[in-house]
Amino acid sequence: MPVSEFDIIEQVFKANALTGENVICGIGDDAAIIEVPVGQQLLVSTDTLVSGVHFFSDADPYDIGYKSLAVNLSDMAAMAASPAWMTLALTLPDNDLGWLRKFADGLFALANQYKVALIGGNIAHGPLSITITIMGTVPSGQALKRSAAKPGDDIYVTGQLGMAAYALAILEDKTSRTTPPQACLERLNRPAPRVRTGIAVRSCASAGIDISDGLAADLAHMLKASAVGARIELAAIPAYAMLKKLDEDAMWKYALCSGDDYELCFTVPTRHRPLLEQAMKNTDCGFTRIGQISSEPGIRWLAADGSDRQISGSGYRHF
Amino acid sequence: MPVSEFDIIEQVFKANALTGENVICGIGDDAAIIEVPVGQQLLVSTDTLVSGVHFFSDADPYDIGYKSLAVNLSDMAAMAASPAWMTLALTLPDNDLGWLRKFADGLFALANQYKVALIGGNIAHGPLSITITIMGTVPSGQALKRSAAKPGDDIYVTGQLGMAAYALAILEDKTSRTTPPQACLERLNRPAPRVRTGIAVRSCASAGIDISDGLAADLAHMLKASAVGARIELAAIPAYAMLKKLDEDAMWKYALCSGDDYELCFTVPTRHRPLLEQAMKNTDCGFTRIGQISSEPGIRWLAADGSDRQISGSGYRHF
C-alpha cells in the first residue's frame, strides 16, 4: 500500500515532534500558531541542503537529518538567539519509510537536545532536498548582528577550523589519505552548532557571524557589514592540529577558505575580556583570540614576524 | 563574470524587498529580526513548488514567482491571518539573471499587493524548486482552525471550483480542447489567495481550510480534525460554468477531486449568517453555502432529489 504524505507526517514526524513551549497549534493545520513571549524579538533563518551538492547522495539519512538542522541552529547561534521552533520542507524522490525514519531520528536527536519544536512543513515529490526554517528568540535589542563590530574590538573564533573541509577533501580523493580522521568526519556529518556560546556571549560581544563558507569569506562579510577591517594573526588561528603537518597553502585552504566549519566568529570590546572569559566557562567549546578590528577596510593576515601574507581563495562559492 | 549567490541576493531580491512593518533586521544577516506586536499570535506555514511536479519546467518565471507566494498566502487566508513576512529558499540549476528577475517580478507583484516583506532566505545550487515560509499574525486566540466545526454549522466555499484543474487537464492533453479558457489558465498560473476573505470571516466563522487538493479531500481533513461529518448539496457546488457542459463524472472530478483551486472552505454557525453577509461585502470573491456540518462522520454528497451520490477520487495525492 502506498504511503501518502499524510501518513509520513503522522507516522514519522508528528509522532516525534516535541509539543514545545508557546506552541498553540503545531503540525496538522494550514499554519502553526505560536506565541512569541512579550519582551522577545523573533529571529528567523532558512537553509537548504541539496543531495549531491551539500551531501553525498548515498549519505547516512541520520546524518542528513542531523546536519539539516545543525546548519540552521548555527545561524541562531550567530545571532545569540535561543532556538525554539522550526518548519521542515522535504522534497523526496520516493516514499521510503525506512530512509525517512532514520532521517527523522537524526533530525529529532538534535531538535530534542536544543528543545526545538517541529511546528509544520511540507512534503513534495522531487529530487532530494531539505529546507528548514528555524525560529528563535532574543530579549528585544540583544541579537548579535554582523554590523556592529568597532575598531579596537578583539576578534575570536570558537573551536578548531578546517576539520570538515579536510574530511571532505579526503572523501573526494583530493589528498594522499584514504580515510578521514574520525573527529573530522564527525564535524563534517554532524556539526556542533555553537548555540550555547552564542547565548553566553550575548552580553559582551559586539558582532557575530557563523563560519559556514570559511573564516576568510565570513569574516569579510562581517567587516563589510560593519564598515571596518581586521588584522588577523595567523599564528593564533586555531587550525585543526593535523593540518599543521601539511604545507602552509594547504593548511590555510582548509582552515580559512573552505566550508562547513560551523564555528562562530565574534568581536568583543577589549574592556569586556573578563566578562567574556566568565561567560565562556558555561559553554562546550574552546575559543581563541585571533586579532583585532581596525578602521582600515579589508583583512590583513599577519605572519609571526609581522609581515603581510596573502590568503588566496574566498571560501565556498554557491555557484 | 559569474554571478554569485550574494550578487543575486543584492541585485534581484534585496533591491526589491519591502522594508516591512516590524522588521528590525531584514535580508543580510544570519537571521532576520522581527517584532510580533503584543496581543498577536504568530502564524507560520511552509510550501514548496518543484519544477516538473508543481509547474511545467518551461513555465513563465513570473508565474512561478507569483504562484510560489500565492499558495503560501492561501494558507494564511485559511487561518484568517494577516500575512506579514516571508523567507525564500530557492534551489537553482544555474544563475540565469534574466530568469531570476522575472521570477522576482512575479513574486514581488503579489508580495507588494499584500505588504509581505521578504526578510531572508537561501540560494542553493540544484534542481529548480522554491520553498517559501510565510509568517503572519492574528489577534491572540482568533486564528481559524480546522478543528472547530460544529454540527449544524453552515459550510461555505469561495469562488468557483475546478478552473485550474480544467486548464491543467487541457494543457496535459487529457481533453478534446486544445487551449484552456483564459480565465482557467489565470487561475492555474496566478491563483488569487483569499486573504481578505479569511480576515473578513474571522469574527463569524468557526473553522476553515484552503482548497488545495480538491474540496472532497480538504473538506475531509476539516471534518476529521473537528470529529464531525457533512451533508453537501451537489446542486449548490459552485463548479466552474464550462464544466457543466461535461459529463457529470468529469465535472465532479475537476470541481471536487482535483488540486489548485486555492479557494477557502469555512463553516459558520447559522446564527451568524447576517454577520457573514455583512463581512463578505468587503471581500473580492463570491461565496456559496454548499451544505451543513453533521454529527455523523464522513461526507454525504446529496443529489437534487435527496439521493446519495458517490464521489470517487480523493483529491490530489502527493505520492
User: Is B53 close to A125, i.e. CB distance below 8 A?
Assistant: yes
**Interchain contact, A318 vs B123, CB within 8 Å:** yes
Q: Does residue B275 have a pLDDT over 70?
A: yes
Residue with the larger pLDDT of the pair B34 and B2: B34
Q: Do B35 and A50 touch (CB under 8 A)?
A: no
Residue B9: the pLDDT is 80
Contacts of B95 in chain A (CB under 8 A): 319
Query: What pLDDT is stored for residue A43 in this prediction?
Result: 98
Nearest-by-CA chain A residue for B147: A29
Q: At A58, is the secondary structure helix, strand, or coil?
A: coil
Would you call B318 and A134 a contact, using CB atoms and an 8 Å cutoff?
no
Q: Which residues of A touch B126 (CB under 8 A)?
A: 50-53, 127, 129
Give the minimum alpha-carbon distance from A156 to chain B in angstroms, rounded to a whole number: 17
Which among B212, B239, B201, B24 is positioned nearest to B117, based on CA atoms? B24
Of A45, A87, A210, the CB nearest to B46: A87
pLDDT means over runs of 10, chain A (319 residues): 71 77 90 96 97 93 97 98 97 91 96 95 94 98 96 98 96 86 96 96 96 96 97 97 93 95 98 95 90 97 94 62
Chain A CB within 8 Å of residue B183 CB: no
Residue B140 at interface with chain A, using a CB cutoff of 8 Å: yes
- Chain B: closest CA distance from residue A165 (Å): 19
Cα–Cα distances in Å, from A158 out to A43, A161, A212, A254? 22, 9, 13, 16
Contacts of A80 in chain B (CB under 8 A): none
Distance of CA A109 to the CA centre of its chain: 16
Hey, how many other C-beta atoms are within 10 angstroms of the C-beta on B285? 14
Yes or no, beta carbons of B42 and A42 under 8 Å apart: yes
Q: Which residue of A has its CA nearest to B6?
A: A318
pLDDT of residue B174: 80
At B80-114, the pLDDT tens digits run: 999 999 999 999 998 889 999 999 999 999 999 99
pTM of the shown model: 0.93
Q: Cell 575559543 sits at which residue?
A: A287
pLDDT higher than threshold 90 for residue B291: yes
Q: Which of A147-151, A289-293, B74-78, B312-316 has the lowest mean pLDDT?
A: B312-316
Q: Give bridge partners of residue B88 from the DSSP assignment.
A: B121, B132
Question: What is the per-residue pLDDT for A3?
Answer: 67
Q: What is the 3-state secondary structure of B23-46?
A: EEECECECCEEECCCCCEEEEEEE
pLDDT at A211: 97
Average pLDDT over residues B47-70: 95
Q: Which three cell numbers stand for residue A103?
A: 532521517
Q: How far is B148 from chain A (nearest CA, A)?
A: 11
Task: Find all residues with CB under 8 Å of A305, minimum gap 6, and list them.
Answer: none
B143 touches chain A (CB under 8 A): yes
pLDDT (0 to 100) of residue B319: 54
* Mean predicted confidence (pLDDT) in B178-185: 94
Q: Is A35 close to B42, i.e. CB distance below 8 A?
A: yes
* CB of B297 less than 8 A from some CB of A: no
A2 touches chain B (CB under 8 A): yes
Residues of A (145-174) whose Cβ lies below 8 Å from B: 145-147
Tell me the per-residue pLDDT of B187-226, one tens digit each, with 9 for 90 and over. 999 999 999 999 999 999 999 999 999 999 999 999 999 9
CB contact under 8 A, A30 and B45: yes
Do the chains contact at A123 and B147, CB–CB below 8 Å? no
ipTM of the complex: 0.92
Taking an 8 Å cut-off on Cβ atoms, the answer to whether B29 and A123 are in contact is no
Question: Which residue in chain A is spatially nearest to B3 when comparing CA positions?
Answer: A319
> What region does B292 belong to: left with phi over 0, alpha with psi -120 to 50, or beta?
beta
The CA distance from A38 to the nearest CA of chain B, in Å, is: 7
Residues of B in contact with A119 (CB under 8 A): 44
Contact assignment for B28 to A146 by CB distance below 8 Å: yes
Parallel, antiparallel or unpaired: strands A40-50 and A82-92: unpaired
- Mean pLDDT across the stretch B250-276? 96
Between these two residues, A10 and B160, which has the higher pLDDT value? B160
Subunit contact A318:B145, Cβ cutoff 8 A: no
The runs of H, that is alpha helices, within A52-115 are 61-78, 97-113
> For residue range A244-275, what is the model confidence (pLDDT) as tens digits?
999 999 999 999 999 999 999 999 999 999 99
For the CA atoms of B147, B153, B154, B160, the dihedral, rounded to the nearest 10 degrees, stands at: 0
Q: Please tell me if residue A54 touches chain B, with a CB cutoff of 8 Å.
A: yes
How close does chain B come to A157, measured CA to CA in Å?
Answer: 16
Nearest CA in chain B to A210: B30
Asked if the Cβ–Cβ distance from A5 to B319 is below 8 Å, we say yes
Please answer whether residues A300 and A168 qualify as being in contact, where contact means their C-beta atoms are separated by less than 8 angstroms: no
First to last CA, chain A: 41
Residue B126 has pLDDT above 90, yes or no: yes
Kindly identify which residue of chain B lies nearest to residue A5, measuring between CA atoms. Answer: B318
The alpha carbon of residue A205 is apart from the nearest alpha carbon of chain B, in Å, by 16
Q: State the Cα–Cα distance between residues A191 and B122, nearest whole angstrom.
A: 19
Please tell me the number of Cα atoms within 13 Å of B296 on its side-chain side.
5
CB A260 within 8 A of CB A168: yes
Considering only CB atoms, B31 lies closest to which of A52, A75, A85, namely A75
Cross-chain residue pair B53–A124, CB shorter than 8 Å:
yes
**Is some CB atom of chain A closer than 8 A to the CB atom of B33?**
yes
Q: What is residue A1's predicted lDDT score, i.e. its pLDDT?
A: 45
